[in-house]
Amino acid sequence: MKRIRYLTLLLLFFICLGANAQKGLAVQAAFDEFAVSKNATEVVMGAGRLKKYNLSLFHSLEIKKPQASEQQRIEALLQTDVAGAILNEESASHRLYELPRRGGMHRFIFYRCTDESLILIYIEGKASLKQIESHFLKKQK
């Protein structure tokens, strides 16, 4: 019984962490609305697991075989947030935006949508884009 209580409290902590991190961003609604879908997977990692990368939050949403209405809704929310982006990288395969800092933290939104999946990622921390790329986009040898 204690184990169930502990797991419930831990789950609530991660839900609250994710909800507060994007506070003030329109894409928070995408996480709230679509994370409960059968074809969606949500991942939230906090500072404890990300400390060695100098990050405080990683929040992702993947929707398998997204419907046009899901894609349109998420893209509309995304456009609201990225209007003030300080970095905007768009290609045929993905979009990356750096939002203005908040509380000394860098904030990034990554978005990719294909017929197979839609991926939305919010990252927050002290690490710069170059540092994040060096950790996660290392070339395979």
Q: What is the pLDDT of residue 20?
A: 47
Chain-centroid distance, C-alpha 52: 18
- 136 pLDDT band, cuts 50/70/90, is confident
pLDDT per position as a tens digit, 51-107: 999 999 999 999 999 999 999 999 999 999 999 899 999 988 899 999 999 999 999
Apex CA 45: angle with CA 34 and CA 74, to 5°? 25
- 111 pLDDT band, cuts 50/70/90, is very high
Closest CA to 59 of 46, 69, 48: 46
Q: What is the pLDDT of residue 70?
A: 95
Per the structure, the complete domain to which residue 7 belongs is given by 2-136
Residue 107 forms part of a structural domain: yes
Residue 108 forms part of a structural domain: yes
Structural domain tally of the chain? Answer: 1
Give CA–CA dist 114/93, Å, rounded: 8
Residue 141 forms part of a structural domain: no
pLDDT per position as a tens digit, 123-135: 999 999 999 888 8
Q: What is the pLDDT of residue 17?
A: 46
Look up the pTM and report it.
0.80
Give CA–CA dist 109/55, Å, rounded: 14
- Strands of the 55-64 sheet, one edge to the other: 40-46, 55-64, 117-125, 105-113, 95-102, 87-90
Q: What is the pLDDT of residue 35?
A: 92
